[in-house]
Structure 1
Amino acid sequence: MNEQTTITGVDKPAEFRPLPKVRQITWDDITRAFRAGLQDFHTAPVYGLTFGAFFAFGGLFVVLCASAFGMSYLSYPLAAGFALIGPFACVGLYEVSRRLQTGERITWSSLLATMWAQKGRELAWMAFVVLFVMIMWMYQVRLLLALFMGFQSFASLDSFMDKVLSTGDGWMFLIVGHFVGAALSLILFSLTVISFPLLLEEDRDFITAMITSVRAVLTSPVPMIGWGLVVTVSLVIAIMPFFTGLIFALPILGHTTWHLYKACVVSEGEAQ
């Protein structure tokens, strides 16, 4: 057989796509993103308030379920863990900001269709990553409870807090628990702060999205981690009044994150 014979029916290798380019940002970029997020919320408040209210109701429902099953002492870690799924809950808000930026018409049908379409895309895998971290957080809470508090149950949240705040073991549980929670939050923030909006806008795999997100944090560590602290403090304050603060905090943070993503990452259209 001639060595020059062409073999047909063999798929061509997939075209190589370089990683998205990441820009270095400053506090000024954070400020501009926040202002743009506030403007998006002001322009389309109904969507932001609806997503915020739905998320707030979900958090309250989780905590009430824990109380109903006699596990009210898990209310605080459950509330903290529930806040971890914020990036996924903001997908609809990212789409609102994207449409406002491109001048596309915003309707509930178009938003819900876009969100529903993500179930078969890479964004669904990112949701699994977030869920896995939340499960790890709750596992660590139970492990730390066993280590510092023993295998005991608490009749109410008040009795649990009394035990935590009045004993040395309780204080050690709080200190170590918050340290572990901060570490998990930093890891999840680094993996998701850019990945969710990137996957919504571009056809990328979730591994590439997570790598890009981590690169964005490493490229601008001070402003990015500073923004992560702002998000954390805002969510803590918003959760305290029975999650009602999330109605306003979630949409503002979500819209801001979209504009922060646009400041950090050079899209394929811009690169060309």
Structure 2
Amino acid sequence: MTSETTGSKSTDDLSPQRASAPKVNKVTADDIKASLNAGFSDFLARPFMSGFFGLFYAVFGIVFVWCLVWLGKIWMVIPAAICFPLIAPFAAAGLYEMSRRLQNGEAFGWYDILTVMADQRKREMGWMAFVTLFLLWIWFYQFRTLLVIILQDSAFSDLDGFFQTVFFTPEGWTFLAVGTCVGAFLSAVLFSVTVVAMPMLLDRDMDFISAMLTSLRVVQENPVVMLGWAAIISATMLLSLVPAFMGLIFTLPILGHTTWHLYKRAVSPAEV
């Protein structure tokens, strides 16, 4: 008697196969150093194109802060200046593509890079932009809440008055201390979900949730090294803001190119 199951597939064979999660590698301080060297080499290979993205980012920062002052939103200047570097990974999409092509030995021009950047709106990068903006909204909201609670009796009508209140009064010191702790937490969250997610979405056809989870795994597997990388980014970007944002013309491209090479070291190539 022939079994009714002969020649049929098992239930497990009929179930959809999930794509395996990207393999996360261990990275060391040497990987950070090698990635920085590679990022600097990419900058030197195309200095004008790389510098363009840095210049655009710097000009946007200047205009953004000027608009806040012009609109009388003095209280937003500090959180805007602090959170501004946090959107750098999203702004560096063109730099990732440049590094990808340089690494593969591919020729490219302005049209190639700008076209790839424009095409990202049709992919998962747009959702990552939403995640970034949502966390920045939380950052501004908590800053405003702390401002009302801690500095409720203080008055300032211009930028100098605001800085005087924040940096030279006991209430201002409390405000800075609490705000720094909350901001550090939000910055850590944003860094963890984007550190390799942005270049990964440009490099691979995958959803933004998987990219964020992979980014979190990279940080979880390499906490000390990634904390060091976060410190390098934060210190470099904040120092770049001092000369009227102009330092970003050089630092943003180098850090953007470096992020690409660090991603390639932290995440194994996709299986074919």
TM bucket normalised to smaller: over 0.9
The answer to whether the Cα contact below 8 Å between 2:154 and 2:165 also exists between their aligned partners in 1 is no
Query: 2:27 is paired with a residue of what secondary structure?
Result: coil
The answer to whether the Cα contact below 8 Å between 1:25 and 1:223 also exists between their aligned partners in 2 is yes
Which residue number corresponds to residue 101 of structure 2? 99
Q: Give the partner amino acid of 1:158.
A: D
Query: 1:84 is paired with a residue of what secondary structure?
Result: helix
Which residue number corresponds to residue 204 of structure 1? 206
Compute the displacement of 1:165 (Å): 2.2
Q: Give the partner amino acid of 1:36.
A: A
Are residues 202 and 151 of structure 1, via their aligned partners in 2, closer, same or farther at CA, if it must alter by over 3 Å? farther
Q: State which of 155, 180, 186 in structure 2 corresponds to 1:184.
A: 186
When structure 1 is superposed on structure 2, of 113-122 and 161-170 the one drifting more is: 161-170
In 2: Cα distance, 1:151 partner to 1:132 partner = 30
The answer to whether the Cα contact below 8 Å between 1:73 and 1:154 also exists between their aligned partners in 2 is no
Q: For each residue in 1:205-240, what CA deviation from the matched residue of structure 2 results, as whole angstroms up to 9, or x when unmatched?
A: 000000000100111111111000100000110011
Query: 2:205 is paired with a residue of what secondary structure?
Result: coil
In 2: Cα distance, 1:166 partner to 1:75 partner = 17
Which residue number corresponds to residue 20 of structure 1? 22
The answer to whether the Cα contact below 8 Å between 1:82 and 1:134 also exists between their aligned partners in 2 is no
Which residue number corresponds to residue 227 of structure 2? 225
1:258 aligns with 2:260: yes
The answer to whether the Cα contact below 8 Å between 1:81 and 1:138 also exists between their aligned partners in 2 is no
When structure 1 is superposed on structure 2, of 162-171 and 87-96 the one drifting more is: 162-171
- Normalised to the residue count of structure 2, the TM-score between the two structures is 0.92
Which residue number corresponds to residue 66 of structure 1? 68
In 2: Cα distance, 1:250 partner to 1:14 partner = 42
The answer to whether the Cα contact below 8 Å between 1:190 and 1:217 also exists between their aligned partners in 2 is yes
The answer to whether the Cα contact below 8 Å between 2:166 and 2:176 also exists between their aligned partners in 1 is yes
Which residue number corresponds to residue 131 of structure 2? 129
Are residues 208 and 151 of structure 1, via their aligned partners in 2, closer, same or farther at CA, if it must alter by over 3 Å? farther
Q: How does 1:167-182 map to 2 (within 5 A)?
A: 167-182=169-184
Query: 1:199 is paired with a residue of what secondary structure?
Result: helix
Q: How does 1:41-190 map to 2 (within 5 A)?
A: 41-150=43-152, 154-190=156-192
In 1: Cα distance, 2:69 partner to 2:215 partner = 36
In 2: Cα distance, 1:251 partner to 1:15 partner = 39
The answer to whether the Cα contact below 8 Å between 2:166 and 2:172 also exists between their aligned partners in 1 is yes
When structure 1 is superposed on structure 2, of 74-83 and 32-41 the one drifting more is: 74-83
5+ long unaligned stretches in structure 2: 9-13
Query: 1:17 is paired with a residue of what secondary structure?
Result: coil
Q: Give the partner amino acid of 2:167.
A: L
Compute the displacement of 1:154 (Å): 2.0
Q: For each residue in 1:161-214, what CA deviation from the matched residue of structure 2 results, as whole angstroms up to 9, or x when unmatched?
A: 111223211100001111111111111000000100111000010000000001
In 2: Cα distance, 1:57 partner to 1:242 partner = 9
Q: How does 1:3-14 map to 2 (within 5 A)?
A: 14=16
Q: For each residue in 1:67-105, what CA deviation from the matched residue of structure 2 results, as whole angstroms up to 9, or x when unmatched?
A: 101123321211112221111001000000000001111
Q: State which of 28, 33, 41 in structure 2 corresponds to 1:31.
A: 33
The answer to whether the Cα contact below 8 Å between 2:193 and 2:215 also exists between their aligned partners in 1 is yes
Name the count of aligned residue pairs.
Answer: 263
Alignment RMSD, CA only? Answer: 1.7
Are residues 66 and 151 of structure 1, via their aligned partners in 2, closer, same or farther at CA, if it must alter by over 3 Å? farther
- Normalised to the residue count of structure 1, the TM-score between the two structures is 0.92
The answer to whether the Cα contact below 8 Å between 1:87 and 1:254 also exists between their aligned partners in 2 is yes
Which residue number corresponds to residue 250 of structure 2? 248
In 2: Cα distance, 1:13 partner to 1:129 partner = 32
